[in-house]
Amino acid sequence: MGNAHSALAEHMARGISQANGDLAGEPLIDAEIVGRSVAYMANLPLDANALFHTVTATKCRLSGGG
């Protein structure tokens, strides 16, 4: 959930260094969507577990790159 649009991630949309040395903007996901996904996990019944939960911006190029 590192690409949640927030004050901390604002610079990512303008452009950050990529693995190949290029400067490119990172796609961000609305922080409200991230919050709803966390609330979903928090509201699961006690006998259920979310072992994996990935929320990402649609146009993210890589997963787990940072």
Which band of pLDDT confidence, cut at 50, 70 and 90, is reported for residue 12?
confident
Which band of pLDDT confidence, cut at 50, 70 and 90, is reported for residue 19?
confident
The CA distances from residue 22 to 4, 15, 58, in Å, are 22, 9, 21
Instruction: Identify whether the C-beta of residue 37 lies closer than 8 Å to the C-beta of residue 62.
Output: no
Q: pTM for the full model?
A: 0.70
